[in-house]
Chain A
Amino acid sequence: MSAAHALSLVGLTKRYGSFTAVDDVSLDVTKGQFLTLLGPSGSGKTTILMAVAGFVAPSAGAILLDGRDITPVPPEKRDFGMVFQGYALFPHMTVAENLAFPLRVRGIDRAERDAKIRATLDLVQLSQFAERRPSQLSGGQQQRVALARALVFDPNLLLLDEPLSALDKKLRAELQDELKTLHRRIGRTFINVTHDQEEAMSLSDTVAILNHGKLIQIGAPDALYDRPRTRFVAGFLGKSNMISARVVERDGSEARLSAGGTTLVQRLNAGMVGDTVLLSLRPERIALLGGGETAANLVQGRVTAWSYLGAGHSLTVETADLGALRITLPTWRAPFAPAEGLVLRLGWPADAAAPVEDDGDE
């Protein structure tokens, strides 16, 4: 199979009248990477994908494939495989004819065409369905046909527009694994669009988070989760407790913060004494402390709500100075049956929370 390709967006902007759908987005996708564009609806992620595919002409900026500007190249000349939302399989053709379509328009002769179709159908485990029509297949099978059709002509890139959104939860998890395995096997560059943060984190090497047409943060899933740059990222990728506190003392990389009457110890690289900082504290980083235990940060609170999640408990604990804190505990670590009004001691180390920029978005 052909080598993987790298893609760069340079200052990509798309305006529709006075509305800016994509606002000056620059990012690099390296060879063989699996990048996911993640954002709520209206964040511009699909517009970016359509611009990469060639269906949307950018108002400004450039799209580079291996350093070559492809912005003016029409979609049929880009050689990008694309899986559309809803699959867009040709209803008047069989599965094999659907796969033959991109090969036929490239003038590939029959023998080679048949060999490629067979190999690709094997890859997605659909060999026995070659003569069926799309309407005779289940949703998951249609999705795999769409994937096969996008891969059969050895495309430069594979673009996926919410490829799993139409499937039920169990099937989605299965196909997520398949997609990941496929990516590893064929070593191509994949660009995926989704609004599902779990899908983004489990599939991708790199996640780009978008909001209101702007690129907010890009990085490996764990980096984004552990060190979100803004309040929006912290809230969009998983759940987070937001704590606002004032710096009262600095000591090297650590700082003392004050929130109401509570003093917090926090690792902090920026921020002067007197500044107000916003911290994102993940629910699973808060520990429940027993009688003799202690931690850098200590608070006490009363349980106001809880839910049992099988693998764990999710508790809401009302504290005097930090407001309601959400914490999650593995079931086997919860030494009690949660009850409303229960008073708990909570603690976390100085590096548990991450300072974030307040971009006004929850």
Chain B
Amino acid sequence: MIRLTGVSYTYPGQGQPALDGLDLEISRGEFLVIMGRNGSGKSTLARLLNGLLTPTKGIVTVEGMDTARRQNLLKIQQRVGMVLSEPDSQFVSNLVEEEVAFGPENLGLSSNQIQARVKEALALVHMEDYAEHPPFSLSGGQKQKVCIASLLAMQPAYMILDEPFSMLDAGDRKALVDILRHLQQERNLTIVLVTHEVENIPAADNIVVLDAGKLVFRDQVGQLPADEETWVNWGLRPPPLLGLARAFYERTGQKFPLHLSPEEMASLLCK
């Protein structure tokens, strides 16, 4: 579990805190989506979860380890992996295989262990055939897969992804979300997806919404507000069928199941 207690963070030289008095718990094995407009503090929160930033107030613990203590850092960074939005800015190598090996090398593992992990990680993202390609020649979706594999090779328990799909098209996004869900289910990996794109909501178990550095929502997907005004106030695109969901609720008193496929929704509505 990652736990934040009374966490605030103010960037050096700024007057206002980017995050203000946050209390949050992230459990093992959950798929959490953290939403908010640009500037709401999402990226700051992401970087607090793996110790890249340490809180100016309050405390962040990863499985009991305080992120502010230097001696915990290596262990925390192994447990909590992070993928950023620009793959080109994360690559250290000109060969996919060596890129993925970078993390395990930092952990001081043996050659055999590193090679085994690289192979396994690439297989998990279906990129085994690209082991000897240079990352810069890959497509956007493939690059992100390599970034994910680079983290998987460290065998983390938690994976934080900060706007990983912002430059990708819907097809790539879907493929990557499927991989993440699979990892969550097969390996009990905790996925924390930081994004402002509401299309990612159906994949999640729980949602957190940040607004101006404060936590304004923390609950299951099914409990998300059904009125558009709240979404617009949060600076988020109201999910596409929200109006429909509200009308359905008003008419039938039941929540409209937004996670169904369009076919299933259509047959439900026609009854």
A and B physically associate: no
Q: Which residues of B contact A (CB under 8 A)?
A: none
